[in-house]
Amino acid sequence: MSIGHWPPLFHVVQAIFFLLTGPSLLAAYVFQALVTGGAAAAAAVLASQMVPPASRNVTGAMAGLAVLIMPEVLNQAGMIMTDTFLSVIVLLTCVCWARYALTGRMLWALAFGMSASAAILTKGNAFGLAFMPALYAVLSGQYRLIWQWRTWFAAAIVVMVTGPWYVLTYKISADGFVYDWGLAYTKVALCGFATGAWQSFGPLGLVGFVAGSAIAAVRAYRRDRNELVLACASAAIGLFLFLLIAPADIQPRYLIALVPAFVTVAIYGYAATVRVRPWWPRPEAVIAVCLIINTAMTWRTPNTAGDMMTSAAHEILSGPVSGKLVLIASGSMGEGALIAAFAASDLDRTHYVIRASKALATSNFNGNVYTARFTDPEAVRQWIAENHISWMVLDSRLDGPEMLHLRQIAQLADAGSPGWRLVATHASAAGLVRVYAIAGTPPGEKDIEAVLRQIAPEKIVGGTSR
């Protein structure tokens, strides 16, 4: 969790859930399971409305299954992340806009503004919903919606609710951008996200979405509108376009926000191409065939490798060394993983996990603005000894650029630095995680405070802080 880098709504909702269940890894995974199930259920309910009544139950079940087995959704079911939660709110926003487009009522304009605000306060990708009204107008021919004061009232709500947060935190979030704003990023992102869409949604999924969007648009211009399909298509396209503009990163998981809306439109596309006649296949049969073929083309076994950082935390907590300071030398994700493992396992809060990227270097959120603190391994060894570090976790599985302080620590470990004892090794295809016990005097409270002051002096108020 990095408040400021990401908006607060997901964390607020999860915190409320923890108030009911108590904070634990199990509760966090149950929360994520409920969110993922909610995304599938929402898509199932809406997609079932796209077919004749006799086909609704089976079609809804297949739509829900289509959401669950998409590679990125399935992968993220084992993580505590915002993307699937965002996809549910995006679909809710589509429903609100569809009702507003159908009725023109102020209540639905207000609901659209609030749900869009909730999406944006979940993750910045949701700013793509700003394209939604214009895209809907183009697809449906309802250009009058753009100029209605209720539409602008909804937009004003979004600005007032979300604007202050992003004005205050833009510098923090922009520090995590991997790319720079501009056309160069858009060119790279177009290739990256197009490939991600092909791998995640599959060729038949994309065909169904394009067909559904096109058929809905043609029918709308003939005054036979399906507001929900048009809203879902507009939202999915808008979110995709925003990914090509905002230079945060290029990761297929960002496409998860589109999934329930995408599936709803694709199901409509399949069903609309089948005219039900006694001698022609029923819609659910066509949908089933497309789903089976598409799944066979996109299936990727989710990552079920054991969490080596959790194992490292357990070994340290049950180890013979009583020292409280643990130094983690890894990439940004490895550092965060060990901290999370201690947060879940160290219930008595006896240990402190020190990020080597902060203690032995200075860097920004992604580690691409980087300066090592020491020039040689011996200076690193002395710092570790002088600051009473009792445990070292060395992770060779890098998720970013290789950094000098990691090479220095690896050199010390490989050379058998005096007092360093290898306690455990965990291997995977990506590399090794090694746990070392370091001999020395356990740190006192003043020693711990001194180390923390080097890393985050602004967080130490009135004594030691955890």
pLDDT (mean) for 228-233 = 97
Q: Which residue has the tokens 């990708």?
A: 125
Beta bridge partners of 426: 433
In degrees and rounded to multiples of 5, residue 234 shows phi and psi of -65, -45
Q: Which residue has the tokens 């002051």?
A: 453
pLDDT (mean) for 24-36 = 92
pTM: 0.85
Element (H, E) at 453: helix 445-455
Question: What is residue 466's predicted lDDT score, i.e. its pLDDT?
Answer: 43
Cα–Cα distances (Å) from 283 to 180, 207, 268, 293, in that order, read 46, 16, 10, 16
Cα–Cα distances (Å) from 362 to 289, 329, 456, in that order, read 54, 14, 11
Question: What is residue 175's predicted lDDT score, i.e. its pLDDT?
Answer: 79
3 state SS of 326 = strand
Residue % of the chain over a pLDDT of 90: 62
Which one has a higher pLDDT value, 245 or 447?
Answer: 245
pLDDT (mean) for 235-264 = 95
Q: How far is CA 427 from the centre of its chain?
A: 26
Q: How far is CA 28 from the centre of its chain?
A: 15
Q: How far apart are CA 30 and CA 443, in angstroms?
A: 38
Beta-strand pair 370-372/352-355: unpaired
Question: What is residue 465's predicted lDDT score, i.e. its pLDDT?
Answer: 44
Q: What is the pLDDT of residues 181-207, one digit of tens each?
A: 999 999 999 999 999 999 999 999 999
Question: What is residue 27's predicted lDDT score, i.e. its pLDDT?
Answer: 92
Which candidate, 87, 95, 100, 84, places its Cα nearest to that of 46?
95
The answer to whether 341 and 460 are in contact (CB under 8 A) is no
Q: How far apart are CA 346 and CA 355, in angstroms?
A: 17
Question: What is residue 464's predicted lDDT score, i.e. its pLDDT?
Answer: 46
Cα–Cα distances (Å) from 348 to 316, 417, 461, 463, in that order, read 14, 31, 21, 19
Residues in Cβ contact with 175 at an 8 Å cutoff, skipping those fewer than 6 apart: 5, 364, 365, 366
Token reading at 38 = 């909610």
Which one has a higher pLDDT value, 441 or 158?
Answer: 158
Under the banding of pLDDT at 50, 70 and 90, the label for residue 305 is low
Residue 131 predicted with pLDDT over 60: yes
Residue 331 half-sphere exposure, CB side, CA atoms within 13 Å? Answer: 13
Token reading at 190 = 């177009």
Residue 291 has a CB neighbour count (10 Å cut-off) of 23
Under the banding of pLDDT at 50, 70 and 90, the label for residue 367 is low
Under the banding of pLDDT at 50, 70 and 90, the label for residue 401 is low
pLDDT (mean) for 425-435 = 85
The answer to whether 329 and 438 are in contact (CB under 8 A) is no
